[in-house]
C-alpha cells in the first residue's frame, strides 16, 4: 500500500504497487471472470467480516449486490422497500430495477442515518423490506431496525457502500441484516 498525503480525498482510493501487481497477475493468468481470485477474495472478505466463507458472494458492485439481494429475497413484485433519502441514487435505482417500490423514510439529523421512528411510520401492508444505509461510515441504529423488522416480518438489506470497516456494538456492518452489500 502506498501512503497518501494527509488530505483525504473522497472517492480516491489508495492504489499502490501491490494493487497494480495484482491486476497485472490477474490479466496474465487469463482469468478475467469468476476464477480463483474471486474465490480467494470471497474467503478473505468473509474472514474479515467474521462469517462463514459460503456466505460471501463476489459481484461487480454494490449496485449489483443490492439488486441481487432483493431478487434473492423473493419479494413480491411492486412490494414497498423502505430506505433513506440520504444516499447515492444506486440504492433507490436498485429497488426500481428489482421491480419494487421505494419508500423514503427521513434520517436522524445528527447521524444522517435512517431514523427508526420514520421507518415505523412508513410501514404499510405492502412493506416487505428495509434498506438502511450506514451513511459516511456511521452505523445505523441496528438494534431498533432489527426489532422493527422482526415485528413486521421484513427483510433487512444493509447498504454498506460507505461502511466496509464500520462496526456497531463491536460487530461488523453487513452482518446484521439478511444481506449486507458492499462497494
Within 10 Å of residue 77's Cβ, how many Cβ atoms? 8
> Does the protein bind ligand PLP through residue 70 (CB under 6 A)?
no
- What are phi and psi for residue 59, nearest 5 degrees? -130, -175
> Does the protein bind ligand PLP through residue 112 (CB under 6 A)?
no
Task: List, in sequence order, every residue forming a beta bridge with 103; answer none if it has no partner.
Answer: 82
Cα–Cα distance measured from residue 2 to residue 16, given in angstroms and rounded to the nearest whole number = 5
Question: Binding ligand PLP by CB under 6 A: which of 162, 168, 177, 179?
Answer: 162
> Does the protein bind ligand PLP through residue 91 (CB under 6 A)?
yes
What residues numbered 1-60 form the site for ligand PLP, per CB under 6 A? none
Order of all β-strands in the sheet with 101-104: 101-104, 80-83, 127-131, 155-159, 179-181
* Interface stretch with ligand PLP, choices 20-28, 73-81, 85-93, 149-157 (CB under 6 A): 85-93
> Does the protein bind ligand PLP through residue 61 (CB under 6 A)?
yes
> Does the protein bind ligand PLP through residue 98 (CB under 6 A)?
no
How near is the Cβ of 77 to ligand PLP at its closest, in Å?
Answer: 23
- Residue 34's Cβ-side half-sphere holds a number of Cα atoms within 13 Å equal to 6
How near is the Cβ of 114 to ligand PLP at its closest, in Å?
Answer: 11
Q: Which cell goes with 147? A: 426489532
Residues lying near ligand PLP in the complex (CB under 6 A) are found at 61-63, 87-88, 90-91, 133, 159, 161-162, 183
Amino acid at each position: 500500500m502506498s501512503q497518501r498525503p494527509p488530505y483525504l480525498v473522497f472517492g480516491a482510493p489508495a492504489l499502490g504497487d501491490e494493487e497494480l501487481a495484482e491486476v497485472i497477475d490477474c490479466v496474465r493468468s487469463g482469468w478475467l471472470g469468476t476464477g480463483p481470485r474471486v474465490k480467494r477474495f470471497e474467503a478473505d472478505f468473509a474472514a474479515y467480516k467474521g462469517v462463514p466463507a459460503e456466505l460471501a458472494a463476489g459481484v461487480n458492485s454494490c449496485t449489483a449486490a443490492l439488486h441481487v439481494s432483493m431478487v434473492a429475497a423473493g419479494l413480491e413484485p411492486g412490494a414497498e422497500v423502505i430506505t433513506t433519502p440520504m444516499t447515492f441514487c444506486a440504492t433507490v435505482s436498485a429497488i426500481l430495477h428489482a421491480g419494487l417500490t421505494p419508500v423514503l423514510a427521513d434520517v436522524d439529523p445528527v447521524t444522517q442515518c435512517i431514523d427508526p421512528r420514520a421507518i415505523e411510520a412508513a410501514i404499510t401492508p405492502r412493506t416487505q423490506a428495509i434498506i438502511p444505509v450506514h451513511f459516511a461510515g456511521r452505523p445505523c441504529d441496528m438494534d431498533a431496525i432489527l426489532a422493527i423488522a422482526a415485528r413486521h416480518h421484513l427483510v433487512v438489506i444493509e447498504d454498506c457502500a460507505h461502511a466496509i470497516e464500520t462496526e456497531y456494538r463491536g460487530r461488523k456492518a453487513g452482518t446484521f441484516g439478511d444481506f449486507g452489500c458492499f462497494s
